[in-house]
Structure formats: C-alpha cells, structure tokens
Amino acid sequence: MNDTDHPLISTQRLVRAIRRVASSVAKSEIANSKILATVTSVSPLELLTDSSLTAVPAVRITSYIPAVGDRVVCEFYGSQLVALGPVTTQFSSNYNSRALGTPSSINLANGTALPLSSGVSGVLPVANGGTGNSTGQPSLQTAVSTLGSDVPLATGTWTSVLVLNAPSAGYYEITGNLEVYNSNGSSHFAEFLIGPTANSSTGAYIMGFIQLPPGGMNTKQITAFATLASGAPVYLEAYPTTSGLTCQHAPSGVYVTQLKMKRLY
C-alpha cells in the first residue's frame, strides 16, 4: 500500500480540509462585525478571538499600542483582522450602582408592599438612573453640527472636525458621521472618535476606523452614550494614516460629515 493511500493519512487530509472550510465560513460570517479577542503576541501582532482555537495575525489602528494579555475589540476588513483598541476605549459604561437613602444600604430582595406612592421622596439624579428633576421626564433636547467646508487632515495628529456643547446636564446619545476623501493612488484608512477633549484621544467615548479606496471616499458612522454637564463640549475627530486625506462637507449639496446629540434623560 502506498503511504499516500493509507486510511489515516486520508482522514488527516479530510480533517484539515474541514478546518479550512470552517475557518473560511467563520471569517465571512463575522466580517464587518466587531468581535472580542486577546493579544497573544505584539511583534508580530497576533490575536486569539473568543470564537477561535488559534491566534491569527492582525494589524492595529495607529493610536493603539497593544500589550500581551490585552482584551481588545477587533474587526475583519476582508481577510485582514484589525485591532481597534482595548475594550475599555471601545465601550463606555455609564451605569452606577450606589447605595440610596438612610440607612445607606438595605437588602429588599424579599421585601413586599413597598409604598412607592407615599414612602419615597426626593429627586433621583441622572447618575442613579433618574431624570434629575422633580417634574418627570424633561423634553428631549437635541443639537446638530454639520461641516461647512472641507477640512484637510494633518498626518500624525488628531484633528477636531466638529464640536457640540450639551444644551443641559443629562445622559446623551451622540452620533458622529464622517466622510473622508483619499487623494492617494493606494488604499488607506483613518481613525476617528467621539470624545470630550479637543485634538486628542484622551477620554474618548468611542473610536472607530474608516477604510478608503484609492482616489475615492467613504462614509462611516459611530454612536456613543455619555453623561454630560451643561455646556460640556463633545468633539468629532479624525486621525489619518497618511497625507492627502480630507474630511468632506457637502458633495451634491448633502452634508455628510455631521455630529449630533440627543438627550435621553
């Protein structure tokens, strides 16, 4: 019997083929979807996703410096796995668990007939899940800013493209829409974020990236949630990976680079 015809070798070939197909299907299913992974190597960068058995090569967005053991959010662009940043910068939590009332703590797991209509007084603040006022839900407040002219993006630095100030103190949904034009003859990408600090990624509420075709443009949107003081600034910012990238304002008369916020409570 020829070695290549041995039943064990045939079985091994079949197993490898099944694994290749499963890996291909898994990648196609999660393309353009954010997934969680752990950094297993930084040079070269390799990630072990929560749904895989082995680490795979990856690239990172410019401003993120990975360390072995980091829990990161990543995304497939085609067959390329891109590390967007640590979990703490991709998802912000605005929920607090604090003791209420006097005494400072009480367990009502088995309590009954709690007199909510007469036994509770005071104003529940926004930080504890309330409205922060004594008259019920406030009317929803919104603010919108759109780009009035093209903004060239300087290489190697964050550029504040748009800014809004919170109309009042409260919990907000903040949406940024960015369109970038790439004048280069090859593909590139730019990072962008929504955050509280001008020309900086410090304290960013959420970060993302936008892939740009050669000599073309692309649009992408991200949404963050944050508790803001009255008048607090919020910025839409971009960070290019190369020169020749420009934020677009109004092709065909339609604003496409925009920052808006809506107070939820």
Q: Tell me the β-bridge partners of 213.
A: none
In this prediction the pTM is 0.51
Q: Of 103 and 187, which is predicted with more confidence?
A: 187
Confidence of residue 166 (pLDDT cuts 50, 70, 90): very high
- Topology given in CATH for the domain delimited by 3-88: OB fold (Dihydrolipoamide Acetyltransferase, E2P) (2.40.50)
Q: Does 142-263 match 3-88 at the fold level?
A: no
Which pLDDT belongs to residue 54?
A: 83
Tell me what the mean pLDDT of segment 158-163 comes to. Answer: 94
Question: Which residue from 143, 181, 177, 183 is spatially nearest to 161, judged by alpha carbons?
Answer: 177
Q: Within its chain, how far is the Cα of 142 from the centroid?
A: 22
Q: Any idea where the domains of the chain sit in the sequence? A: 3-88, 142-263
User: Position of tokens 């936008």?
Assistant: 210
Q: What is the DSSP letter of 48?
A: E
* CATH topology assigned to domain 142-263: Jelly Rolls (2.60.120)
Residue 60 above 60 pLDDT?
yes
CA 30/CA 47 separation, integer angstroms: 15
DSSP strand pairing (59-60 vs 80-86)? parallel
Q: Which of 189-198, 228-237, 252-261 has the lowest mean pLDDT?
A: 252-261
DSSP 112-162: ----TTTS--S---GGGTS-SSSSSSPPP-EEEEE--S-EEPPTTS-EEEE
